[in-house]
Amino acid sequence: MVSNLTLYYSNHIVVYEKTSQDQLQQFRHRWRKLKDSGYQKLESRQGDRQRFWTVYNVFKTTKSNKKVTFIRLLISQELFNMSVTTINNIQLQLGRFGIPILLTLGNVGNLFTAWILIRTVKQRANPCALYLLCASLANWVIINTLLVGAYYGIDHIEPVHKSNILCKLRWYGGYVLFIASRNFMIRACVDRWALCSQNPKIRSFSQSKIAHRVTFLIIISSALMNICFFFFFDNSSGRCATNPLYTLAYTSYSLTFIGILPSSLMILFGFLARYNLTKIRLRVQPVDGDRARGIQIHKRDHDLMKMLFGEVFVFCVTTCPFPCSLLYNYLTASITSSKTPIRVAIESLINFIIQPLLTFT
Q: What is the domain partition of the chain in residue ranges?
A: 2-75, 82-360
pLDDT tens digits for range 312-353: 788 888 888 888 888 888 888 878 777 777 788 888 888 888
- Cα–Cα distances in Å, from 276 out to 121, 127, 185, 202, 293? 24, 18, 19, 12, 19
What is the pTM for the complete model shown?
0.71
Neighbours of 208 (CB within 10 A): 14
Residue among 19, 93, 22 nearest 58 (CA): 19
Q: In what helix (H) or strand (E) does residue 15 lie, and over which residues does it extend?
A: strand 13-18
Measure the CA–CA gap between 66 and 64, rounded to whole angstroms: 6
Residue 132 in this model has a pLDDT that exceeds 50: yes
Selected from 1.20.1070.10, 3.40.50.720, 1.25.40.10, 1.20.1340.10, the CATH number assigned to the domain covering 82-360 reads: 1.20.1070.10
- Cα–Cα distances in Å, from 43 out to 29, 38, 51, 74? 20, 9, 12, 14
pLDDT of residue 52: 36
pLDDT tens digits for range 224-283: 999 999 999 988 888 888 888 888 899 899 889 888 899 899 989 988 888 887 777 666
pLDDT tens digits for range 54-103: 333 333 443 343 333 333 333 344 445 557 778 888 888 888 888 888 88
Residues 6+ apart with CB under 8 A from 179: 222, 225, 226, 257, 258
Measure the CA–CA gap between 143 and 141, rounded to whole angstroms: 5
pLDDT tens digits for range 149-177: 888 888 888 888 888 999 999 999 999 99
Measure the CA–CA gap between 86 and 104, rounded to whole angstroms: 27
Residue among 68, 72, 65 nearest 12 (CA): 72
Alpha carbon 324 to chain centroid, angstroms: 8
CB of 72 within 8 A of CB of 17? yes
CB of 300 within 8 A of CB of 281? no
Handedness of CA 247, 248, 250, 255 (dihedral sign): positive
Position 26: which residue type? Q
CB of 276 within 8 A of CB of 196? yes
pLDDT of residue 165: 92
Alpha carbon 263 to chain centroid, angstroms: 15
CB of 172 within 8 A of CB of 252? no
Residue 200 in this model has a pLDDT that exceeds 50: yes
